Amino acid sequence: MQKVKVGVLVSGTGTNLQALIDGVKRGFLPCEISVVISNKKEAFALKRAEKEGIPGYFIDEKDFREKTDYEKKIVEILKEYRVELVVLAGYLKVLSPYFVREFHNKIINVHPSLIPSFCGKGFYGRRVHEEVIKYGVKVTGATVHFVDEGTDTGPIILQKAVPVLDEDTPESLAERVKKVEHEILPLAVKLFAEKRLVIENRRVKITGGLGDDGEKESNNIGI
């Protein structure tokens, strides 16, 4: 199978990027991480890319008059590397309709809650876990979804639940959710690379089911 070229957009430490790198290294992902792009110059994710010999770019929106020009530069780089799948791995910017159209149904994002709960404009990072605890829900989790022109509104690929404990803090909950993100994001990328994701209206169907690989990678996916 020909390896699918993946471009990863990041803003922070890049632990989800590392999960993808590890998945490639152990042969789980039939992919090549071709390029990593960040909107933050000091993002540790860029250092992770450098360590692995993956081309990394810092693109500063302040260098562009319009947001569209900024995104055109990113799209230009992604196409230069012949990227077939764009993964948002802690990328803290909302993509414009222009960007989404350029990679229609070829952008996936990981979000630290069970969408459609605790998502949308302003829901990212610590705030998600603060609101989960504040609301008093008993279960949260992580979601991997296709990106459309809304915010966290695209078709859902995979979800996995995480219990919310009485003693949880935003930090402790974030750590447990992050572990789940590191399981389901590589699995979603694998399913995309194997052309096993079929979008019908808002539903994403997995041809052939998850099988042994999916169960080994992450139990109770989709609950």
The catalytic residue positions are 111
Residues in the chain: 223
Return the H-helix or E-strand segment holding 139. Answer: strand 139-146
Record the tokens describing residue 86, joined without a space: 């764009």
Kindly give, in sequence order, each residue whose CB lies less than 8 Å from that of residue 172, ignoring residues fewer than 6 positions away: 165
Record the tokens describing residue 114, joined without a space: 């069970």
Alpha-carbon torsion (144, 150, 153, 154), positive or negative: negative
The closest alpha carbon to 192, from 103, 102, 91, belongs to 103
Q: Tell how strand 85-88 and strand 56-58 pair up.
A: unpaired
- Residues 3/84, Cβ–Cβ less than 8 Å: no
In whole angstroms, how large is the CA radius of gyration of the chain? 17
Record the tokens describing residue 41, joined without a space: 């110059």
SS3 158: strand
Q: DSSP string spanning 140-156?
A: EEEEEEE--SSSS-SPE
User: Quick one: CA torsion of 18, 104, 198, 2, rounded to 10 degrees?
Assistant: -60
